[in-house]
Amino acid sequence: MSSSETIVAIARAWIGTPYRHQASLRGVGCDCLGLVRGVWREVRGPEPEAAPPYAASWAESAPGGTDPLAEAAARHLVPSALPAAEAEPAVGTVLLFAFRAHLPSKHCAIATGAGTMIHAHDGAAVTEVALTRWWRRHLTHVFRFPDADG
């Protein structure tokens, strides 16, 4: 069983990794999905599917009504029983965000507890930040790693 504390400890080991679109190498570079993929590899082993190439603006061109990031997450992670707007993200859960109501999820992070999360943001490094009201307003999905506690 993967403990949520282990997931957070591994995610924190990525702090300071520079942002690099589509990368997933701790200390070298990653984007938000690359961070989650890297934590998956350390917690669960090989990735269950390869991430397809994607442009930085991929969500803006997703076919209407689809949410490719959430659909991929649902294939391999366990969704929260509560809608994202009602969920209090548990330690070690994966959070998905959409920046506009009519667009699919475009950003992901890992909840670290007490209203904080770790994420990789364009133009910055992996960092731990507050899960502020702005982030909560854009939260679309909450998932946990398979077999993780919490």
Q: Looking at residues 122-136, what average pLDDT do you find?
A: 95
Residue 1 pLDDT more than 50?
A: no
Whole-number percent of the chain with pLDDT over 70: 94
Residue 100 pLDDT more than 80?
A: yes
Burial class (CB in 10 A: 0-12, 13-18, 19+), 75: exposed
CATH code: domain of residue 38: 3.90.1720.10
Range of the domain at 80: 4-47+67-144
Dihedral sign, Cα of residue 137, residue 138, residue 139, residue 141: positive
pTM for this prediction: 0.93
Other C-beta atoms lying within 10 Å of the C-beta of residue 139: 21
> Given phi > 0 = left and psi -120 to 50 = alpha, else beta, which region is 81?
alpha
What are the tens digits of pLDDT across the range 8-27? 999 999 999 999 999 999 99
**Count of domains in the chain?**
1
CA distance 11 to 93: 11
**107 lies in a domain?**
yes
What are the tens digits of pLDDT across the range 29-64? 999 999 999 999 999 999 999 988 887 776 666 667
Give the contacts of 67 (CB within 8 A, at least 6 positions apart): 104, 105, 140
> pLDDT higher for 148 or 46?
46
**36 lies in a domain?**
yes
**108 lies in a domain?**
yes
